[in-house]
């Protein structure tokens, strides 16, 4: 199922920065080592974080430089929560926290039932004030969309209202399912690949992100 540019839903944003695209090509390579894969995912996390925070509102605050008193911009408004879906979402986390060290972290444990491909929750821990924060859900692969849909539903149930979904590679099937389930949640991805295979893997994709990141295959 290939998706043409005209079929991409309006709230799906492509991160087309050359550095991200370059590193995405490197990370797709089957010969990439585990440590290099993890490092690249971290770096891409930092770069994507830079892109998705571009629209955060600013306010002018009073400061004093060694030479003068001025009004200078600082980020205002809601504070951030990074919410990696375990386990592959963790790959983005350190890179993002390096840019926004004060962000809080919510962990969402979901695994894919290998037969039904449905998401099953086994862990959830989020900051208690999540309703007042902007939540970025992290998962490198938006495949069937089941995990992403379930993770966002769990966050909404706990009060989160302002949510973005961040991935590295999305399948057309996952995008359509996710945007139908959560039309209020914008998606950020570096690539929209061709299709899902019969095992729910994205083609051409990069294989199993968790296994490649942690060397568990
Ligand atoms: N999860 C992965 O890690 N890779 C895929 O291709 C699909 C889901």
* Domain at 10-214, CATH from 3.20.20.70, 3.40.50.10860, 3.40.50.2000, 3.40.50.2020: 3.40.50.2020
pLDDT of residue 9: 86
Burial (CB < 10 A; 0-12, 13-18, 19+), residue 141, is buried
Query: 5 CA distance to ligand 1 centroid (A)?
Result: 23
pLDDT of residue 3: 80
DSSP class per residue in 134-199 = EEEEE-SEESSSHHHHHHHHHHHHTT--EEEEE-SEE-HHHHHHHHHH-TTS-EEESEE-SEE-TT
Q: Tell me the domain boundaries of the chain.
A: 10-214
pLDDT of residue 217: 81
Residue to probe by mutation, ligand 1, list 202, 204, 216, most atoms within 8 Å of CB: 202
116 is catalytic: yes
Phi, psi of 126, rounded to the nearest 5 degrees: -135, 160
Residue to probe by mutation, ligand 1, list 85, 173, 207, most atoms within 8 Å of CB: 207
pLDDT 10s digits, 21-54? 999 999 999 999 999 999 999 999 999 999 999 9
HSE-up of residue 131 (Cα within 13 Å, Cβ side): 4
- Using DSSP's 3-state secondary structure scheme, residue 37 falls into helix
pLDDT 10s digits, 173-215? 999 999 999 999 999 999 999 999 999 999 999 999 999 999 9
The overall pTM is greater than 0.85: yes
16 is catalytic: no
Query: Is the confidence at residue 7, as pLDDT, over 80?
Result: yes
Query: Is the confidence at residue 1, as pLDDT, over 80?
Result: no
């Amino acid at each position: 199922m290939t998706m043409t540019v005209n079929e991409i839903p309006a709230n799906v944003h492509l991160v087309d920065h050359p550095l991200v695209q370059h590193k995405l090509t490197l990370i797709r390579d089957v010969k990439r080592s585990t440590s290099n894969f993890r490092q690249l995912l971290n770096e891409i996390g930092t770069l994507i974080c830079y892109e998705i925070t571009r629209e955060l509102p600013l306010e002018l605050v009073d400061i004093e430089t060694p030479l003068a008193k001025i009004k200078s911009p600082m980020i205002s408004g809601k504070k951030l929560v990074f919410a990696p879906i375990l386990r592959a979402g963790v790959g983005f986390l350190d890179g993002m926290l390096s840019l926004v060290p004060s962000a809080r972290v919510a962990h969402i444990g979901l695994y894919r039932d290998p037969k039904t491909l449905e998401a099953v929750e086994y862990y959830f821990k989020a900051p208690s004030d999540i309703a007042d924060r902007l939540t970025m859900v992290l998962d490198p692969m938006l495949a069937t969309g089941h995990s992403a849909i379930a993770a966002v539903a769990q966050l909404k149930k706990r009060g989160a209202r302002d949510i973005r979904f961040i991935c590295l590679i999305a399948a057309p099937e996952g995008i359509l399912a996710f945007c139908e389930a959560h039309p209020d949640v914008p998606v950020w991805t570096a690539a929209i690949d061709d299709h899902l295979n019969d095992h729910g893997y994205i083609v051409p994709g990069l294989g199993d992100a968790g296994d490649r990141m942690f060397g568990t295959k």
